[in-house]
Chains A and B, each alone.
Chain A
Amino acid sequence: MRFRPLAPLLCALPLLGTAAQADSLDDSGPPQKRPDPVASSEAERGEVPRAPVAEGEREPPGALPPLRDSDTGFSFGSYGRVGAGLDGGGHEGYPVNVVAHGSRLEEAPYLELYFSYTGRLKSGPRWRVVITPAFQGDLFHYSGDFSTQFALRNAYVEADDLGVDGLRLWVGSRMYRGDDVYLLDWWPLDNLNTVGGGAGLRRGRWDAAVQVGLNRLNDGFTYDQVPVPARGLGPPGTALALDRPRAVASFKLTCDLGTPGAPAGGKASIYAEFHGMGDGDRPYVEGSGSQHLPADYGWVAGAQLGGRLSPFTFANLFLRAAGGLAAYGELTAPNSTDASGRTLPARDVQLVLSLNWESRWIGIMGGGYVRQFTDASGGQYNPRDYVEGIGIVRPHLYLNRWFTLAAELSYQGRQYGGFDPLLNRQLVPQVFRASLMPIVNPLGPGTYSRPQIYLLATVSRLNQDARDALFDPTDIRYGAATALYFGIGAEWWFQNLVSL
Chain B
Amino acid sequence: MRSVFRNAALLAMVFAAGCYDLSKVDHPRITSNVADWRDEVIYQIIVDRFADGDVNNDWMVDPNCPPNSSGGQCALGRYQGGDWQGVIDHLDYLHDLGVTALWISPVVRNVDTDANFDGYHGYWAQDLAATNPHMGDMAKLREMVDAAHARGFKVILDIVTNHMGQLFFYDINKNGVPDDDVFGLGCPAQTLTNGGCAMPAITHLTEYDPDFDARGIQAYTSLGESGPAPVIFLHLPDIHREPPSPPFDNLDFYHKRGRIVNYDYQPDDRHQPGIQTLTGDFPGGLKDLATESDDVRQALIQAYSYWIDQADFDAFRIDTLKHVEHDFWKTFCPAVRQHAKAIGKHNFFMFGEAFDGDDQLVGSYTGGEQVDSAFFFPQKFAVIDRVIKFNQAGTKAIEDQFTALKMDYGAAPNSDGPTDADGKPLVAQQLMVNFLDNHDIPRFLYDKVSEAPLQPWAALHQALAYEFTEIGIPCVYYGTEQQFRGGNDPSNRERLWDTGFDETNPTFQWIAQLNSIRRSFRPLRHGDLEVKWSTEHTGDEGDAGIFAFERVDGDKRVLVVMNVSEKHPSSTQAADGAMKVGFAAHTGLVNVLPDGDAANQAFQVGGDGTLVVTVPPRGFKILVANGDQGGIP
Interface of A is mostly: loop
- Flag if A426 contacts B7 (CB, 8 Å): no
Residues in B whose Cβ lies below 8 Å from that of A285:
63
For B6-24 the 0/1 string (1 means CB < 8 A from A) is 0110110011001110100
Residues in A whose Cβ lies below 8 Å from that of B3:
323, 347
Residues in A whose Cβ lies below 8 Å from that of B68:
292
Contacts A419-B22, A424-B131 given; does A349 touch B63 at CB 8 Å: no
Residues in A whose Cβ lies below 8 Å from that of B411:
none
Contacts A424-B138, A425-B26 given; does A377 touch B133 at CB 8 Å: no
Residues in B whose Cβ lies below 8 Å from that of A292:
66, 68
Q: What total of chain A residues lie within 8 Å of the partner, measured CB to CB?
A: 42
Contacts A285-B63, A287-B75, A421-B131 given; does A379 touch B7 at CB 8 Å: no
Q: Does A99 contact B (CB under 8 A)?
A: no
Contacts A287-B63, A287-B64, A349-B11 given; does A379 touch B85 at CB 8 Å: yes
- Flag if A289 contacts B66 (CB, 8 Å): yes
- Flag if B143 contacts A387 (CB, 8 Å): no
- Flag if A351 contacts B11 (CB, 8 Å): yes
Residues in B whose Cβ lies below 8 Å from that of A181:
none
Q: Which of A287, A377, A417 has the most CB of B within 10 A?
A: A287
Q: Which of B54-62, B219-227, B369-377, B458-466 contacts A (4 or more CB under 8 A)?
A: B54-62
Contacts A290-B66, A341-B55, A379-B54 given; does A349 touch B139 at CB 8 Å: no
In-complex Cβ contact of A415 among B20, B54, B66, B133 (8 A): B20
For A283, the closest partner residue in chain B by CB is B63
Q: Report Cα–Cα, A291/B143, bound state, in Å.
A: 28
Q: Report Cα–Cα, A422/B20, bound state, in Å.
A: 19
Q: Report Cα–Cα, A71/B120, bound state, in Å.
A: 68
Within 8 A of A (CB), among B129-150: 129-131, 133, 137-140, 143
Q: Does B25 contact A (CB under 8 A)?
A: yes
Residues in B whose Cβ lies below 8 Å from that of A419:
22, 25, 137-139
Within 8 A of A (CB), among B81-101: 85
Contacts A289-B66, A415-B20 given; does A422 touch B130 at CB 8 Å: yes
Contacts A286-B63, A380-B143 given; does A417 touch B130 at CB 8 Å: no
In-complex Cβ contact of B4 among A291, A321, A338, A379 (8 A): A321
Contacts A379-B85, A418-B139 given; does A321 touch B7 at CB 8 Å: yes
Q: Does A301 contact B (CB under 8 A)?
A: yes
Within 8 A of A (CB), among B62-77: 62-69, 75
CB distance from B88 to the nearest CB of A (A): 10
- Flag if A426 contacts B55 (CB, 8 Å): no
Q: Does A143 contact B (CB under 8 A)?
A: no
Q: Does B310 contact A (CB under 8 A)?
A: yes
- Flag if A424 contacts B310 (CB, 8 Å): yes
CB distance from B231 to the nearest CB of A (A): 21
Residues in A whose Cβ lies below 8 Å from that of B85:
379
- Flag if B137 contacts A336 (CB, 8 Å): no
Q: Does A217 contact B (CB under 8 A)?
A: no
CB distance from B24 to the nearest CB of A (A): 8
Residues in B whose Cβ lies below 8 Å from that of A310:
none
Contacts A337-B56, A341-B55 given; does A289 touch B63 at CB 8 Å: yes
For B306, the closest partner residue in chain A by CB is A424
For A299-316 the 0/1 string (1 means CB < 8 A from B) is 001000000000000000
For B240-274 the 0/1 string (1 means CB < 8 A from A) is 00000000000000000000000000000000000
Q: Does A383 contact B (CB under 8 A)?
A: yes
For A424, the closest partner residue in chain B by CB is B138
Contacts A379-B85, A424-B131 given; does A372 touch B69 at CB 8 Å: no
CB distance from B104 to the nearest CB of A (A): 17
- Flag if B54 contacts A377 (CB, 8 Å): yes
Within 8 A of B (CB), among A186-232: none
Residues in A whose Cβ lies below 8 Å from that of B67:
291
- Flag if B63 contacts A284 (CB, 8 Å): yes
Contacts A387-B19, A421-B133, A424-B137 given; does A337 touch B69 at CB 8 Å: no
Residues in B whose Cβ lies below 8 Å from that of A379:
54, 85, 140
Contacts A372-B10, A381-B22, A421-B131 given; does A337 touch B137 at CB 8 Å: no
Contacts A289-B63, A289-B64 given; does A372 touch B140 at CB 8 Å: no
Residues in B whose Cβ lies below 8 Å from that of A347:
3, 7, 10
- Flag if A381 contacts B8 (CB, 8 Å): no
CB distance from A287 to the nearest CB of B (A): 3
Q: Report Cα–Cα, A284/B67, bound state, in Å.
A: 12
In-complex Cβ contact of B20 among A301, A323, A339, A426 (8 A): A426
CB distance from A232 to the nearest CB of B (A): 29
For B26, the closest partner residue in chain A by CB is A426
For B6, the closest partner residue in chain A by CB is A347
Tally inter-chain residue pairs, CB-CB below 8 A: 106
For B127, the closest partner residue in chain A by CB is A422
Q: Report Cα–Cα, A287/B66, bound state, in Å.
A: 11
Q: Report Cα–Cα, A111/B56, bound state, in Å.
A: 37
In-complex Cβ contact of B137 among A339, A370, A387, A421 (8 A): A421
Q: Report Cα–Cα, A292/B55, bound state, in Å.
A: 12
Residues in A whose Cβ lies below 8 Å from that of B64:
284, 287-289
Residues in B whose Cβ lies below 8 Å from that of A287:
62-64, 75
Q: Report Cα–Cα, A420/B131, bound state, in Å.
A: 11
Contacts A286-B63, A289-B66, A418-B139 given; does A370 touch B14 at CB 8 Å: yes
CB distance from B498 to the nearest CB of A (A): 14
Q: Report Cα–Cα, A287/B74, bound state, in Å.
A: 10
- Flag if A381 contacts B139 (CB, 8 Å): yes
- Flag if B4 contacts A301 (CB, 8 Å): yes
Residues in B whose Cβ lies below 8 Å from that of A422:
130
Within 8 A of A (CB), among B410-467: none
For A301, the closest partner residue in chain B by CB is B4
Q: Does A416 contact B (CB under 8 A)?
A: yes
- Flag if A370 contacts B15 (CB, 8 Å): yes
CB distance from A88 to the nearest CB of B (A): 29
Q: Report Cα–Cα, A329/B3, bound state, in Å.
A: 18
For A291, the closest partner residue in chain B by CB is B66
CB distance from B374 to the nearest CB of A (A): 31
Residues in B whose Cβ lies below 8 Å from that of A416:
20
Q: Does A106 contact B (CB under 8 A)?
A: no
Q: Report Cα–Cα, A199/B85, bound state, in Å.
A: 48
- Flag if B130 contacts A424 (CB, 8 Å): yes
For A417, the closest partner residue in chain B by CB is B20
Q: Report Cα–Cα, A26/B298, bound state, in Å.
A: 48
Q: Report Cα–Cα, A419/B25, bound state, in Å.
A: 9
For A263-304 the 0/1 string (1 means CB < 8 A from B) is 000000000000000000000111111111000000001000
Q: Which of B3, B129, B139 has the most CB of A within 10 A?
A: B139
Q: Report Cα–Cα, A338/B58, bound state, in Å.
A: 12
CB distance from B74 to the nearest CB of A (A): 10
Q: Does A385 contact B (CB under 8 A)?
A: yes
Q: Report Cα–Cα, A117/B236, bound state, in Å.
A: 54
For A386, the closest partner residue in chain B by CB is B20
Q: Report Cα–Cα, A321/B56, bound state, in Å.
A: 24
CB distance from B243 to the nearest CB of A (A): 11
CB distance from A413 to the nearest CB of B (A): 10
Residues in A whose Cβ lies below 8 Å from that of B18:
387, 415
CB distance from A220 to the nearest CB of B (A): 12
Q: Report Cα–Cα, A290/B67, bound state, in Å.
A: 10
Residues in A whose Cβ lies below 8 Å from that of B130:
421-422, 424
For B27-71 the 0/1 string (1 means CB < 8 A from A) is 000000000000000000000000001111000001111111100
Q: Which A residues are within 8 Å of any B CB, using their own CB? A: 284-292, 301, 321, 323, 335-339, 341, 347, 349, 351, 370, 372, 374, 377, 379-381, 383, 385, 387, 415-422, 424-426
The 3 closest A-B pairs by CB, nearest first: A284-B63, A287-B63, A381-B139
User: Besides A420-B137, A424-B137, 11 other CB < 8 A contacts?
Assistant: A339-B55, A347-B10, A349-B8, A372-B11, A377-B56, A381-B22, A381-B139, A383-B137, A424-B130, A424-B138, A425-B26
Give 17 A-B contacts (CB < 8 Å), ordered by A residue.
Answer: A284-B66, A289-B63, A321-B4, A321-B7, A347-B3, A349-B10, A370-B14, A372-B11, A374-B10, A377-B54, A377-B56, A387-B20, A417-B22, A418-B22, A419-B139, A424-B310, A426-B22
